[in-house]
Amino acid sequence: MSKQERGRPPLPEPLGVPTVDSHTHLEACGAETAADVAEIVDRAESVGVTRVVTIADDLDAARWAAQASTWDDRVWAAVAIHPTRTKDFGPAEQSEVERLAAGERIVAIGETGLDYYWDYSPPDAQREAFRWHIDLAKRLRKPLMIHDREAHEDILRVLDEEGAPEDVVFHCFSGDEDFARRCVDRGFVLSFAGTVTFRKASGLHDAARFVPSGQFLVETDAPFLTPHPHRGRPNEPYCAAYTVRGIAELRGQSAEEVAEAARVNAERVFRLPVVTSP
């Protein structure tokens, strides 16, 4: 049975306080129009996920994300060229990314970084593009949102060599407690996706237990990485509520405490308007 045949997971019980999906791909979730975006975010808001950051990974997606962020006050955006797409990342592409990134509703430069799992772009091209995005984030004074797949050591090395921006977010954090500690010591923020709910992700569980309350975010990376127990079904921003509860169980906290911390951290990192929980 295909993902679409199985359909989306059921709506979870609403969270008691609002939170933020800090990394989703609304276009990949099937959104094309303002009405599509509103429908997806309405579902999320119905369970307490009241704002989302939609992410771009190529120029077309960046243009769409920038536009979509103007359609709905609950939507913000991040733009960059994904490391697997950096093979042909030249001056024209850089100029367009920089133009889009300067937009008022663009709250981060991302996702950028290194991906040594796929071989779509040579490592040297990835590293060169990563350094360029780091510089852009510093020049625009916006957070850097990192994609890190099987590249932990090189990610830290490049950040140390270039000098990290004030705010660095490790999207879909995939390290263990030791790597989490090294990131936290540098002041970085760890964003946890549905993978943190997977039963065999013991290293990731340890990282989620360790990370200080002021240095984590919650994300879906929708339509990918649907949380347990709905792996294999299409993900959407409302499923962040499942991940919030999974993190809460790992940390021995209430879902409301985790949701609140994730929201406050997202407001600080992305400079979002502050919302007071009821």
Query: Computed over its alpha carbons, how large is the radius of gyration of the chain?
Result: 17
Q: What is the DSSP string of 47-89?
A: TTEEEEEEE-SSHHHHHHHHHHTTT-TTEEEEE---GGG-TT-
pLDDT exceeds cutoff 80 at 2: no
Cβ atoms of residues 221 and 23 within 8 Å: yes
pLDDT band, very low/low/confident/very high, at 278 (cuts 50, 70, 90): low
Domain for residue 7, yes or no? no
How far is residue 59's CA from residue 121's CA, in Å, rounded to a whole number?
Answer: 16
Domain for residue 59, yes or no? yes
Q: What is the CATH number of the domain that holds 133?
A: 3.20.20.140
Q: Binding site membership for a divalent metal cation: which residues?
A: 23, 25, 111, 147, 171, 221
Domain for residue 210, yes or no? yes
Q: In the prediction, which pLDDT does 31 show?
A: 97
| Domain count along the chain | 1
Side-chain-side CA neighbours of residue 262 (13 Å) = 36
Domain around 120: 14-270
**What is the rounded average pLDDT of the residues 5-27?**
93
Domain for residue 131, yes or no? yes
Domain for residue 126, yes or no? yes
pLDDT in tens, 71-111: 999 999 999 999 999 999 999 999 999 999 999 999 999 99
pLDDT in tens, 184-231: 999 999 999 999 999 999 999 999 999 999 999 999 999 999 999 999
**What is the rounded average pLDDT of the residues 11-38?**
98
Domain for residue 102, yes or no? yes
Q: Binding site membership: which residues?
A: 23, 25, 111, 147, 171, 221
Q: In the prediction, which pLDDT does 134 show?
A: 98
pLDDT band, very low/low/confident/very high, at 275 (cuts 50, 70, 90): confident
Q: In the prediction, which pLDDT does 6 show?
A: 63
Side-chain-side CA neighbours of residue 263 (13 Å) = 22
Domain for residue 27, yes or no? yes
Q: In the prediction, which pLDDT does 34 show?
A: 98
**What is the rounded average pLDDT of the residues 130-159?**
98
Phi, psi of 51 (to 5 degrees): -145, 150
Domain for residue 75, yes or no? yes
pLDDT exceeds cutoff 70 at 1: no
Short-list 24, 79, 98, CA closest to 54: 24
Q: In the prediction, which pLDDT does 5 show?
A: 40
Percent pLDDT > 70 in the chain is 97
